[in-house]
Structure 1
Amino acid sequence: MSQATAPAPAASAPGFAGEQKNNDWIWHLSFGLLLAVTLIWFLFWTNGYAATDSSKIVFITAVIFAVFMAFNIGGNDVANSFGTSVGAGTLSIKQALVVAAIFEVSGAILAGGEVTNTVRSGIVDLNAIDGLDPMEFVYIMMSALLGAAIWLLVATRMGWPVSTTHSIVGAALTVGFITGKGGWSMVQWGEIGTIAFSWVLSPVLGGVAAWLLFGWIKRSILVYNEAADTQLREIKQRRAELRQEHKSRFQRMDELQQISYTNAMARDAALVAEEDFDPDLLESDYYRELHHINKDMDNVQAHRALENWVPLLAAIGAVIISAMMLFKGLKNVGLDFSALQNFLVMGMVGAAVWMAVFIFARTLKKHSLDRSTFLLFSWMQVFTASAFAFSHGSNDIANAIGPFVAVIDVLKKGEIADEAAVPAPVMIAMGIALIAGLWFIGRFVIQTVGSGLTQMHPSSGFAAELSAAAVVMAASLLGLPVSSTHILIGAVLGVGIVNKAANWNLMKPIALAWVITLPTAAGIAAVTVAILRVTF
């Protein structure tokens, strides 16, 4: 069986060659200006935020490193997040930009603080580096940013979706050893062990979740639709044959027989136009046989799977989206419901979405089964893409914000603190850099994830995104900086396994890139920290 009844429109996904050739200079110019203005504004803001006696050059360098890191996260991780949507033809790359701009930044601002704290101080035991010069700590964080960013840029250009979490954590720890402060004792091995376990678990959980979800979707909806579509085609063929047969019979009749038969058919046509007609009153053989054919078509119940199961899937997706907002975003802005209130809100949202999608599915009965399947899953994939963007913003924006906040906090206070507030302008600036990175360099990773690992359709893209969003959300709630890249790649491969179409040859260089991510980023960071210590 193929993976879906709907046509696969993503052979050349929107946002790739065709779209990119037209008027792209306007988009390039717009995003270039936006990024430049943001960087200038951010430099002015951070200049006023930090202490006046801190090194201006160090401060400016830290800002550039952080924005560069966020830019490359956008080109790799955010592009990885939207690869399935663009590859399935649900969103063009420009539409993906709009969704990312809203939900990535919202996730970072509303729900990103907890993970940022884990990256900044949960991995490194600040007590073990007591006596470390605060500026050495600044150099460690700055080098971690640059080491991770350069590796991300290289990997993105090669089309490899890699883990920014691996990059930033490995670089931060390695340069800690280079400074000779803290050594092995600076590492909170309990935290590292938990995070390492989650890294291993991420692609497995993503793959298993997507394999289960898409396997069920395929068996319950897509395979049913294919069987129903085959029956409908056979019935339409019977109807065409009936029309041709009676046309031949009519031509063999004499004139009086033709007049009599025409009058009978006219009366039958008027009869079948009535809402509840008695088929026994039909006079012509043509309409009697046509009635039996139409009855067989009704018995197929072609849209039954769409009407029964798609609203349920949409409701599940809505519950996940609302859960992210209630347990993460709204909690951080001070709206703290009780557990019962949270579940009641989630239930109401799920019920409302179920009813809305059910009504929408009923209105598609007059459309072809292929078209109805494509439309329903396309709408649902837009929502799951938004949910995954929110989860990604709440989780992986920490990779750029955490080390940078540590830097500006030290430059402001002159000491290494256990905690530091994350100012909203930092979130906004990094969010804008994310979107700019998605536009300028994200298409390489989008092509890999959207069509390289397996062919995407809205139904398979929906399954991969919903599975990945649920796993990332759960990890974010636990404060674990898991790799959303590994989770989504695992989910995409899970879909490919169901369809027996996973591109393992392409997965080999991606897996190799995952392995060398930590040492490569660490090596670049080690060189960077040595240069910074000499320069400043």
Structure 2
Amino acid sequence: MADNNGQQWKTLDKDLGRISRVELATIYVARPMVGTGIALAFIVLAALTAAVTLGGTPNDLIVVAAAGFGAYMAINIGANDVANNMGPAVGANALTMGGAIAIAALFESAGALLAGGDVVSTISKGIIDPAGIASAQLFIWAMMAALISSALWVNLATWVGAPVSTTHSVVGGVMGAGIAAAGFGAVDWPTMGTIAASWVISPVLGGAIAAAFLAFIKAYIIYQDDKIAAARRWVPVLIAVMAGVFSTYLALKGLKKIVKIDMQTALMIGAAIGVLSYAIAAPLIRKQSQGMENRNKSVKALFGLPLVFSAALLSFAHGANDVANAVGPLAAIVHVTEFGDFAAKVSIPSWVMIIGAFGISFGLFLFGPKLIRMVGSQITKLNPMRAYCVALSAAITVIVASWLGLPVSSTHIAVGGVFGVGFFREWHAERRFRKKAGAKAAAQRLAPEERRRRKLVRRSHFMTIIAAWVITVPAAAVMSAVIFLLLNTVIGAG
């Protein structure tokens, strides 16, 4: 009898075990479905907001649909683009994933609503000439196709795990729809050539600047006999550089809604805030470093708080600039349906900007962690010093690019900075190894497998990301052209 009872208990344990496994599997499957459900609810809410704001004429229904797709695009920007600002801070353990998402959502929304440009170029930096498009209706379909195709492409890239440029996705979408609507002559090819050049220039420049800062930190702080004394001397200088650069960046890019500032004035503002930041940072770093051990771990701790500030400022600037990618084509559609013509520049209604700002925050919260982990820890190992170099290089590169008049992608610059830091570490580790062991002895001792194992940048991720960057514009363009032809044939004919 006892044996039967024992057998029953064993069977019950097994059954309970199976049930618990089913519950775990259900939770695992349901979690992505919850995110998708919330995202769909937000898209429907954005469309309803447009419907309530506008009314119910046929043209208004087009705007309602465009508002839904604008919300979808904003969600995808949050899921993909924002990872570039927060990834390094999370990878360096300066921020938790929850803290990063909270800070990014707050500063992205603040940047979009407080400093987001109230006037955007509906043709995305002059890629197509609206005059070449025969009618306002065709222009609406072209903008709608650009919006849908760029959102679909960024969604696909996020699913694959590749950080791509939402700016370039919109560029490709506008170009493809423009070609389908008015032929190749409608495209401003010199502008497209400049954008193509930025694919190479921005990540290389971002990587080079990040590597240069890391080399400086290693030479003047890490390899000094008294690391703490060196950190007291140089960390306030680096914080001042960061504050000055970000002040210049925000004055140029983030405050254009409030006041128009030229480069010279922005640089003067940056220099003044840099000096002020040094005066504040020097005593704080001296106090923080008291009693610290003379080792690398202590130095890394001094970069933690400045890194959090830099990530927050990057998010603010990103929200101020990139929200236009989500709402630019939507603003163009609203303008055409309201006034019956298309203009090179249009104002963005407040309700459209709110959709963009909240959509970016929703996308980050629901789907951002995947790309944050990719950028922060899966390309190369980051610590607060390396991540600080990436953030600083991102801001400097954008300022240099603005000065040169190059349209650049914040994604390309930030990820280029991560690659730059990783490849510099590889080169530096190899150089130190050869110096220590002697070139000939090192060559004999390291087998090819060991040499591959010592690579500090994951080559598979590197190739995936580069491939995604290269095909972003043509892929978005082809998708946009197909969607435009479908819209024009199915709905336009109807």
Q: Please classify the TM superposition score into its range, dividing by the shorter chain length.
A: 0.7 to 0.9
Structure 2 residue 427 is the aligned partner of structure 1 residue 502: no
Do 1:396 and 1:484's aligned partners in 2 also have CA atoms closer than 8 Å? no
Aligned pairs for 1:286-305 within 5 A:
301-305=226-230
Equivalent residue number for residue 460 of structure 1:
386
Q: Select 2:139's aligned residue among 137, 140, 152.
A: 137
Cα distance in 2 between the residues matched to 1:393 and 1:471: 18
Q: Does 1:69 align with 2:73?
A: yes
2:325 to 399, 422, 425: 399
Alpha carbons of 1:34 and 1:474: their partners in 2 closer, same or farther (altered >3 Å)?
farther
Asked if the contact 1:74–1:442 (Cα under 8 Å) also holds between the matched residues in 2, the reply is: yes
CA RMSD across the alignment: 3.1
The TM-score normalised by the length of structure 1 is: 0.74
Change (3 A) 1:119 1:311: farther
Partner of 1:292: none
Any conservation in 2 of the 1:51–1:411 contact (CA below 8 Å)?
Answer: no
Question: Using the alignment, how far apart are the partners of 1:517 and 1:66 within structure 2?
Answer: 19
Aligned position for 1:532: 487
Q: Distance in 1 between matches of 2:75 and 2:263?
A: 38
Against the structure 1 CA distance between its residues 511 and 31, is the aligned structure 2 distance closer, same or farther, given a 3 Å change threshold?
closer
Match of 1:358 among 278, 282, 297: 282
5 Å-filtered alignment, 1:240-279, equals none
Q: Which amino acid aligns with 2:278?
A: W
Counterpart residue number, 2:156: 154
Other structure's SS at 1:124 match: coil
| SS of aligned partner of 1:518 | helix
Alignment map for 1:312-327 (pairs within 5 Å): 312-327=237-252
Give the partner amino acid of 2:310. Answer: T
Deviations 1:302-353 (A, max 9, x none): 411110000000001001121123233334313769956x555433422232
For 2:276, the aligned partner's letter is A
Q: Which residue of 2 aligns with 1:211?
A: 211
Match of 1:449 in 2: 375
Q: Distance in 1 between matches of 2:218 and 2:118?
A: 37
In 2, distance between residues paired with 1:418 and 1:52? Answer: 27
**Relative contact order, higher structure (CA 8 A, sep 6+):** 1
CA distance in 1, matches of 2:49, 2:382: 43
Seq. identity, %: 36
Give the direction of change, closer, same or farther, for the CA distance of 1:150–1:343 in structure 2 (3 Å limit).
closer
**Secondary structure at the residue paired with 1:122?**
coil
Name 2:233's counterpart in structure 1: 308
- Which residue is equivalent to 2:184? 184
User: Does the CA contact (< 8 Å) of 1:51 and 1:412 recur in 2?
Assistant: no
Tell me if structure 2 keeps the 8 A contact 1:397–1:430: yes
Deviates most, 326-335 or 47-56:
47-56
CA contact (8 A) 2:89 2:308 kept: yes
Q: Look up the equivalent residue of 1:107 and give its one-letter code.
A: G
SS at match of 2:303: helix
Secondary structure at the counterpart of residue 143 of structure 1: helix
Cα distance in 2 between the residues matched to 1:223 and 1:505: 32
What is the letter of the counterpart of residue 305 of structure 1? A
Is residue 78 of structure 2 the alignment partner of residue 123 of structure 1? Answer: no
Q: Number of residue pairs matched?
A: 435
Cα pair distance change 1:469/1:435, threshold 3 Å: same
Cα distance between partner residues in 1 of 2:142 and 2:420: 38
Conservation of the 8 A alpha-carbon contact between 2:85 and 2:311: yes
CA contact (8 A) 1:467 1:491 kept: yes
Matching of residues 57-96 of structure 1 within 5 Å: 57-96=61-100
Does structure 1 residue 522 correspond to structure 2 residue 477?
yes
Deviates more, 1:484-493 or 1:360-369: 360-369
By how many angstroms is 1:205 displaced? 0.9
Residues 422-478 of structure 1, C-alpha deviation per residue, up to 9 Å, x if partnerless? 223322221211121112222221222111111000100000111012222444577
C-alpha separation in 2, matches of 1:115 and 1:205: 29
Q: 1:412 aligns with which of 321, 338, 348?
A: 338
Counterparts of 2:396 and 2:118, CA distance in 1: 18
Give the 5 Å matches for 1:191-202: 191-202=191-202
Return 5+ residue gaps in structure 2 as ranges: 1-26, 427-455
The residue identity in structure 1 corresponding to 2:131 is N
Partner Cα distance (1:418, 1:322) in 2? 30
Task: Give the match's secondary structure for 1:420.
Answer: strand
The farther-off stretch of 399-408 and 304-313 is: 399-408
Contact 1:203–1:491, Cα closer than 8 Å, also in 2: yes
**Contact kept? 1:392, 1:472, Cα under 8 Å:** no
Residues in 2 aligned to 1:483 and 1:343: alpha-carbon distance in whole angstroms: 22
**8 Å Cα contact 2:118-2:348 kept in structure 1:** no
Q: Kindly state the Cα deviation for residue 128 of structure 1 after the two structures are TM-superposed.
A: 2.7
CA distance 1:475–1:106, shift in 2 (3 Å): farther
TM-score computed with the length of structure 2 as normaliser: 0.79
Is the Cα–Cα contact under 8 Å of residues 92 and 387 in structure 2 kept in the other structure? yes
Which is worse superposed, 461-470 or 320-329?
320-329
The CA deviation at 1:486 is 1.2
- Aligned partner of 1:330 in structure 2 is 255
